[in-house]
């Protein structure tokens, strides 16, 4: 009887199986479908909806300084 696999071994075998079954691009797309994101979209959307293009451009320029 073999010992239980570590989580890293299971992940490695899972990635290999996905790549074999879906190809590398399909594997990545499949894995990305589980990303739930972060933050509060509704709150953040309200904050940036009121900004003008000029305001956004100013913030970009400032961030690049």
pLDDT tens digit sequence for 17-43: 999 999 999 999 999 898 877 888 888
Q: What is the CA radius of gyration of the chain?
A: 21
Q: Are 25 and 13 in contact (CB under 8 A)?
A: no
pLDDT in tens, 55-65: 889 999 999 98
Q: Which comes out higher in pLDDT, residue 52 or 19?
A: 19
- The pLDDT assigned to 52 comes to 86
Q: Are 15 and 27 in contact (CB under 8 A)?
A: yes
């Amino acid at each position: 009887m073999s010992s239980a696999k570590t989580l890293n071994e299971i992940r490695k075998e899972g990635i290999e199986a996905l790549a074999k079954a879906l190809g590398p691009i399909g594997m990545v797309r499949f894995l990305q479908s589980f990303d739930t994101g972060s933050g509060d979209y509704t709150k953040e959307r309200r904050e940036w909806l009121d900004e003008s293009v000029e305001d956004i451009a100013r913030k970009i320029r400032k961030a690049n300084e």
